[in-house]
Amino acid sequence: MLNQNRGPDGVSMNRRDFIKISGLFGLGAAAPAMLAGCAARPLPGQGEVVRTPTFCDMCFWKCAAYAHIENGQPWKIIGNDDDLHSKGRLCTRGTAGMGAYEDPDRLRRPLIRVTGADGLQTFREASWDEALDYIAERLKKVEQRHGADRLALLNHGYGAHHFQHLVRAFGSASIAEPAFAQCRGPRDVGFELTYGEVIGSPERTDMEHSRCIVLIGSHIGENLHNAQVQTLADAMRNDVTLITVDPRFSVPASKSKYWLPIKPGTDIALLLAWMHVLIDEGLYDRDYIERYATGFEQLKRHVARYSPEWVYLETGIEPETIRRTAREMAAAAPATLIHPGRHTTWYGDDTQRSRAIAILNALLGSWGRKGGLYNKESVSLPHYPVPEYPEARSDFRAAHAGRFPFANSGVTTAVIEASVGADAHYKAWIVYGTNLPMTIPGIRPTLQAAIDSLDLVVVVDTMPSEVTGYADVVLPECTYLERYDDLRNSGERVPSLALRMPVFEPRYDSKPGWWIAKQLGHRLGLEKYFPWDDYAEVIDWQLKQLGSSLEEMKRIGVKNFPRKRPLYFAPGQDVRFFTPSGKIELYSQQLADKGFDPIPEYTRPESPPAGYYHLNYGRMPAHTFGKTTNNHLLFQLAPENTLWVNPLVASERGLVNGEYVRLANPDGVVSNQIRVRVTERIRPDSVFMAHGFGHRSRKLRLTHDVGADDSELMTRLKIDPLMGGTGMRGNFVTIIKEAV
């Protein structure tokens, strides 16, 4: 195997060169061919229509839906009216699900990396049997030589459950997903330290009943997580007082009573000043704090020095605005929600910022109260009986090497680092549904080094995303519209189950994740963990334990269940929180014991060097990261990202609306071209772009090289010492004008 890494002249090459060859999949060249399936169709709804329930996978919100096929052809996907989680509606991306199914650039057959006589590495197509045998043989070698715990799973998305099961059955507990270290980890750890519980997904925000909502970042409306948008709209219909803290005039900022265009990175100072005002003016919920919280006196002493006047100098937010907004929050409490956010890996002090948000909510008495953060509940769904997993010799903490004491989940970057070198802990990876090079900023050199060291890299994906170029074996999964997955059972207001089942037969030679995991399991001698022929049996068994059945769910798609516990605390109710003290911990002894600030402290962020701007990034409504940019339906709506530039910057640099520029960072990285959008909606010290563009994979023929990739420009990362989060916002860029 190692011989593959040497050229014919013995010159050492990268162990795995990134394979850029286009046209590997035996496709015709013309991308517009994809539209053929949609052409010349008679009026929709006239033919024979088949309606199949599913839940959406275009992002991670999982809205229940019905897919319609007419005369055997894809027609439309619409929301399921019985689904309280989506309120029966889909967003733009959800309705474009057929575009994922129809994408002609999809992975079609298993691929195995080979080195040609000329030393050039490429993929060759293989049968499933060959690809699976190849993987199983190498995994067995890893197990014999090093132990099963040396396999890591890097995963994202709902279908990953099948591979988590496989990896656990094999004997590894090293599982990491970008949803932790690149997304909501700091928030969930910050809230767990404070309340003993995470916020989780979907967020337990009771916005429809809120009378005051504070959004810090959280650009809901551009961030299109369905029910978040709808309940924010409900709140606005009810005349909620909306306060948005964002350096950019975001969509919710435009709907707000107060927009606080904060200096980037200074949010903790603002949060501490709000606490200062609430305590100083006696506006906090005294009864709630006395009953439920511990550490108030320490908090009071701590925030005394964060006066609005001092904080104004840091944040640029006028003292009077800080006071007035704090009073608005108090007037509406406890129906005041300081939104916990979701993508919270910003400046490296993110767990502490999330702690500050958690503490502010406590002062307002909003946790467990109507209009604040409700008690979430899921369905008690029995697990299909399989044997206990073997005890893994080590888990993901082996990768952390004593760092990140509050990481309750694998840190992707740490797992990747712990895979570099001959003595590395990890020897094999399965990568499922995550496009590591674009998802984890700053990782490319380490990723290449890890790939060079590992004995086996398997990538399971639907598309020829950049990550597939690093694999030894690429396994083509079919899309969510062609498979069963586990029932959706997320904790929220009303417990519910939703069904995902095949709408179509898998296209090409792609296969469902459950089938791939089972086939690998059998080859690894783990048959007893996969005692089903079809995953439908598992779902049917689970449903029957609850008095329902697959048969019923195929008709209704979603089933709502009664709650067993109240949604909110009763007045004066005794509550024991799952923290060490049993109370809401305003002061955290757990943090103090590990040498961290027990109450959040503010540290001044770095300012951009002369001629540089903060690199700000976020979502655009029409796309989910990089995974939908090649979808022809969404491409038509939003083909590229743009660079938001303040008019002052535009005039200083002679930039005009619509022209292409490049961005350069202080480490010499230069981006793809990106189109300028001149707008007052961004501060002059920052530029903004949506994440998910600038794909380098030539096999993504629509979106290849279109727009710029924020990840490439993020070479300076601030790692959260508490839990390993990748702080991405401390990066600066300058603008290079370019004649096109």
Ligand X SMILES: Nc1nc2c(c(=O)[nH]1)N[C@H]1C(S)=C(S)[C@@H](COP(=O)(O)OP(=O)(O)OC[C@H]3O[C@@H](n4cnc5c(=O)[nH]c(N)nc54)[C@H](O)[C@@H]3O)O[C@H]1N2
Q: What's the rounded Cα separation, in Å, for the pair 346 and 449?
A: 26
Of 289 and 450, the one with the shorter C-beta distance to ligand X is: 450
Q: How far is the CB of 605 from ligand X (least distance, A)?
A: 8
Least Å distance, CB 440 to Mo ion, is 12
> Nearest to residue 209, comparing CAs of 234, 178, 182?
234
Nearer to ligand SF4 (CB atom), residue 225 or residue 523:
225
Residue type at 384? Y
The bridge status of strand 121-125 relative to strand 111-115 is antiparallel
Contact map string, positions 226 to 245, toward ligand X, x by CB under 6 A: -------------------x
Residue 57 binding ligand X, by CB under 6 A: yes
CB neighbours of 571 closer than 8 A, spacing ≥ 6? none
Instruction: Please say whether the beta carbons of 358 and 191 come within 8 A.
Output: yes
Interface with ligand SF4, residue 226, by CB under 6 A: yes
User: If contact means CB under 5 to 8 A according to the sort of partner, which of Mo ion, ligand X, ligand SF4, none does residue 518 touch?
Assistant: none
* Residue (152 or 293) nearer to ligand X, CB: 152
Nearest partner of 257 among 235, 287, 224, 276, judged by Cα: 235
**Residue 41 vs 704, nearer CB to ligand X:** 704
Helix (H, G, I), strand (E, B) or coil at 223: strand
Strand-pair partners of 475: 460
Write out the DSSP string of 317-375. --HHHHHHHHHHHHHHTTSEEE---S---SSS-HHHHHHHHHHHHHHTT-BTSTTSBPP
Residue nearest to ligand SF4 (CB): 94
Q: Which of residues 594-653 bind ligand X (CB under 6 A)?
A: 616-619, 621, 623-627
Closer Cβ to ligand X, 377 or 477, answer by number: 477
Question: Which residue from 549, 548, 188 is spatially nearest to 343, judged by alpha carbons?
Answer: 188
573 torsion bin: left (phi>0), alpha (psi -120 to 50), beta (else): beta
CB of 215 to ligand SF4, least distance (A): 18
The letter for the amino acid at 181 is A
CB of 509 to ligand X, least distance (A): 15
SS (H, E, C) 668-692: CCECCCEEEEECCCECCCEEEEECC
- Give the tokens for residue 731: 């990066």
| Cα 612–chain centre separation | 28
Question: One symbol per residue from 448 to 487: x for binding ligand X (CB under 6 A), - otherwise; what is it?
Answer: ------------xxxx-x-x---------x-xx-------
The one among 53, 74, 94, 725 contacting ligand SF4 by CB under 6 A: 94
Token pair of 280 as six digits? 């100083």
User: Which residues inside 149-188 make contact with Mo ion, applying CB under 5 A?
Assistant: 183
Q: Which does 495 bind (CB under 5 to 8 A by kind): ligand X, Mo ion, ligand SF4, none?
A: none
Print the binding letters for residues 175-204 with ligand X: x by CB under 6 A, - otherwise. ---xx--xx---------------------
| CA atoms of 642 and 240, how far apart (whole Å) | 32
Taking CB under 6 A as the rule, does residue 627 contact ligand SF4? no
Please give the C-alpha separations between residue 271 and each of 240, 345, 599, in angstroms, as whole numbers.
Answer: 20, 17, 12
Phi/psi of residue 138, each to 5°?
Answer: -75, -35
Closest approach of ligand SF4 to the CB of residue 178, in Å: 17
d(CA 368, CA 370): 7
Question: Least distance from C-beta 224 to ligand SF4, angstroms?
Answer: 6
Q: How far apart are CA 452 and CA 118, in angstroms?
A: 20
Query: How far, CA to CA in Å, does 369 sit from each of 228, 284, 337, 366, 491?
Result: 18, 15, 10, 5, 17
By CB under 6 A, how many residues form the interface with ligand X?
Answer: 62
Which is closer to Mo ion, CB of 123 or CB of 347?
347
Question: In degrees, to the nearest 5, what angle opens at C-alpha 631 toward C-alphas 64 and 124?
Answer: 110
| Stretch near ligand SF4 under the rule CB under 6 A, chosen from 221-229, 246-254, 523-531, 537-545 | 221-229
**Minimum Å distance from CB 287 to ligand X?**
30
| Nearest distance in Å: CB 14, ligand X | 21
Least distance to ligand X, CB of residue 598, Å? 24
* Cβ nearer to Mo ion, comparing 179 with 454: 179
Q: Among 313, 329, 323, 366, which residue's Cα sits nearest to residue 243? A: 329
Which C-beta is closer to Mo ion: that of 185 or that of 464? Answer: 185
Does 91 participate in binding ligand SF4 (rule CB under 6 A)? yes
Q: Looking at 85, 209, 302, 343, which residue binds ligand X (CB under 6 A)?
A: 343
Of 315-344, binders to Mo ion (CB under 5 A) are 343
Is 702 in a helix, a strand, or coil?
coil
Q: Is 232 in the site for ligand SF4 (CB under 6 A)?
A: no
CB of 565 to ligand X, least distance (A): 28
Name 689's bridge partners.
617
**By CB under 6 A, how many residues form the interface with ligand SF4?**
14
Q: Which of 90, 232, 460, 475 binds ligand SF4 (CB under 6 A)?
A: 90
CB of 346 to Mo ion, least distance (A): 13
Of 529, 533, 484, residue with least CA distance to 506: 484
Give the CB-nearest residue to Mo ion: 183
What strands lie across the sheet with 175-176, from one edge to the other? 121-125, 111-115, 473-476, 456-461, 428-432, 151-155, 175-176
- Return d(Cα 509, Cα 195) in angstroms, integer: 48
Using the rule CB under 6 A, is 223 a contact of ligand X?
yes
Least distance (Å) between residue 564 CB and ligand X: 29
Residue 226's binding partner among ligand X, Mo ion, ligand SF4, none (Cβ under 5 to 8 angstroms by kind) is ligand SF4
Residues 34-73 that bind ligand SF4 (CB under 6 A): 56, 58-59, 61-63
Residues that bind Mo ion (CB under 5 A): 183, 343
Residues that bind ligand SF4 (CB under 6 A): 56, 58-59, 61-63, 86, 90-91, 93-94, 224-226
Residues that bind ligand X (CB under 6 A): 57, 59-60, 156-157, 159, 178-179, 182-183, 216-219, 223-225, 245-248, 250, 262, 264-265, 267, 341-343, 432-435, 438-439, 441, 460-463, 465, 467, 477, 479-480, 616-619, 621, 623-627, 688, 691, 710-711, 714, 728-729
